[in-house]
Structure 1
Amino acid sequence: MAEHHHLVHLQAGLFDPSHQFTAPPGITLTQEHYSNTTPDQLHARLRDATILVLCYTRINAEALSEAVSPKLKFIAITAVGTDSVDLETCRRRGIRVSNCPGSNVESVSNHVMALYFAARRNVVRMDRATKDGTWLKVGSMLSNRMADRDGDWCLTCEEEVMGILGYGYVGKRVAKMAQALGMKVLIAGRKGEDSPSTSNDTDIQRIPFDEVLQKSTVLVIAVPRIPETMNMISTAEFAKISHKAVLINVSRGGIVDEVALLQALKYRSIHGAATDVFAIEPASVKTSPLLAEGVEELNLTTSPHVAWCADRTAKNYARMSPENVMNFLLGQGRFPETYPGGT
């Protein structure tokens, strides 16, 4: 008899209808496509799945238990990051997992630069002050709100030193964009590593982590969310960062301590920050101090985890996720041991 698989797509509504999944000769494939899946719907939809396709739905140890998903053999994540899935439980059960590495590099890198300019130039606060009549009231004195705590105005690109934490696909692309704008670029070694080595695939010399914190005027975070990176930037790190610096996070929530970041902004120990990600998503005033009352007075720009959004990204997803399913069915492919996650 032909081998049979049942594919369940939990978030088909995010993608173009051309996002098609097929099987090679000798394998039959039935499919269920759901526009979206809520937590209370998840377990029922996992019951008969041998292949699961998702973008961001959290698949924890309970969902991966044999009692809930007894037939599951493969998970195709239509994203770069794999932190939504309990990979350790997958390894114990022998469930293979794939993602779409490099699929959103251009979009996320563009978003990094957009957030950089927003933070450096106080774009959100100046927009608000223009619209609410503050400009009319205070006139040219409004420009003082763009100054740092010493009263110095904005740095220009040629004065910036960009420190990059995480030198993967996005980190490499952002480095090139920053250099094209005239910035000096520093690549950080691993936190706690005193003598970082040259990158394996480039001649870039990594700089000790703390040295990058101290020398950077722009700090870009593009590391995966794994136990080693949780709260990578917290109170102790903010004490080392220049008060002229702006911090940009497009990686994952939880890597920057949100309470510590809020304090750094309030006391102006950094010039500004911009984040596309939150520790709990979707974020709200109840879940994140970065959205609390009064933050509108701070140089803080936020976006709702949309750095990946671009036609180019969607086309990459539509190509790569079906390829990953096909490779699994053929007994081929690269899995999270190679790609631990990321932006």
Structure 2
Amino acid sequence: MDTLSSPSDSPIHIVCLETMHCPLPPLTLPTPYKISEYRDTPLSLIAPRLSTATIAITTVIPITPAIISQCPSLRVIAIWATGTEWLDTAYCASRGIWVINCPGTNIEAVSEHALAFYFAARRKIVELDTALKVREGGERRGGEWMEKGTLTTRWDDVGGAPLSCGQEVVGIVGYGRLGRRIEALCRGVGMGRVVVAGRKGVTGLVDGEEDASTIDLIGEEELRSMRKEAVIINVARGGIVNEAALAKALTGKWIAAAATDVLEKEPGGRGTTPLLPLDSEVPNLTITPHVAWFAAQTMKNLKAFLKEGIEAWVAGKPVNVVVQGR
């Protein structure tokens, strides 16, 4: 690929659809360019904002074939994240559009979040914190601990006292860089045995990418086959663990606990998922709003990878290529 040339009256137009996750890094390009950046972009404005774009930058805002067909100047879609499963890469290839991404930028943060989830779920950290701080009827009251003298009874419905790290069997579904990093952390805190995929054991950590082969990878059948003390942790993508089945498993006490950083529909809230029903609570469940990736090092990595990716493509030496265009 030759260095991209651009007439002085037609500079490269770089459009970033969302900067709310990370600010754009400064770019150094050998050809004239202009940047249009937006904190966020509603669906109705994606096509208009990309109508004259040469390079589109997005994190989770979808750029569909219907939108691409309205963008005659589009040459590159830069995914400001690792996952590209939501993008129709075959269509991009058919249109000669390059797709680049930022792989592995959040490995440390997501793996540490997974481990934090394990302790939160196994030790009921959030539940017990809430039990001590909750206000009843708007008034400060003594609370459950003062009334009962102990809250160890909170584990009675999930098989009794929680397992310690040395008693755990950890099954990791997905064994790329993230899976290997999670394995290292689990071994580092003394977990008894770590296995990769397939085993329906005590603690399951899900870190694979979502695609047609992984949708509903863990459903009712798999959850019913697990031991009562099992904990499910999902730091991958929503939909890999079937949400209705997981809610049923937790409510029915088939497994001890679950924690997830991702939902099938995001942003999520009450009524958008079986895990967050409008008029009840799913027990023994910890949810965070897709922030496992967020860390100072991740932000540094994202800026560096995006800068490198765009500058390398303009220089005719593309890197982190998902789809090779024309």
Query: Which residue of 1 is the match for residue 164 of structure 2?
Result: 156
Task: Give TM-score, length-normalised by structure 1.
Answer: 0.85
Query: Which residue of 2 is the match for residue 87 of structure 1?
Result: 89
From 332, 336, 343, the counterpart of 2:322: 336
Contact 2:92/2:323 (8 A) holds in 1? no
Query: Which residue of 2 is the match for residue 198 of structure 1?
Result: none
Distance 1:297 1:165, change over 3 A: closer
Contact 2:100/2:323 (8 A) holds in 1? no
Query: Which residue of 2 is the match for residue 22 of structure 1?
Result: 28
Query: Which residue of 2 is the match for residue 169 of structure 1?
Result: 177
The answer to whether the aligner puts 1:314 opposite 2:307 as a matched pair is: no
The answer to whether the aligner puts 1:42 opposite 2:51 as a matched pair is: no
Q: Matches of 1:282 and 1:12 in 2, distance apart?
A: 16
Unaligned runs of at least 5 residues, structure 1: 189-208, 339-343
CA shift for structure 1 position 110: 0.8
Q: Matches of 1:55 and 1:149 in 2, distance apart?
A: 39
State the identity as a percent. Answer: 37
Deviation >4 Å, runs of 4+: none
Instruction: Indicate the SS of the match to 1:274.
Output: strand
Contact 1:7/1:52 (8 A) holds in 2? yes
Query: Which residue of 1 is the match for residue 138 of structure 2?
Result: none
More deviation in 326-335 or 299-308?
326-335
CA shift for structure 1 position 12: 2.3
The answer to whether the aligner puts 1:257 opposite 2:242 as a matched pair is: yes
Instruction: Indicate the SS of the match to 2:36.
Output: strand
Unaligned runs of at least 5 residues, structure 2: 135-142
Q: Look up the equivalent residue of 1:14 and give its one-letter code.
A: H
Query: Which residue of 2 is the match for residue 144 of structure 1?
Result: 153
**What is the RMSD computed on CA atoms of the aligned residues?**
1.8
Q: How does 1:1-343 map to 2 (within 5 A)?
A: 2-3=5-6, 4-16=11-23, 19-23=25-29, 25=30, 27-65=31-69, 68-132=70-134, 133-140=143-150, 142-150=151-159, 152-183=160-191, 184-188=193-197, 209=198, 212-213=199-200, 216-293=201-278, 296=281, 298-331=283-316, 332-336=318-322
Contact 2:93/2:323 (8 A) holds in 1? no
Contact 1:164/1:185 (8 A) holds in 2? yes
Distance 1:2 1:175, change over 3 A: closer
Instruction: Indicate the SS of the match to 1:291.
Output: coil
Q: Matches of 1:241 and 1:10 in 2, distance apart?
A: 42
CA shift for structure 1 position 295: 5.2
CA shift for structure 1 position 100: 1.0
Q: Look up the equivalent residue of 2:183 and give its one-letter code.
A: A
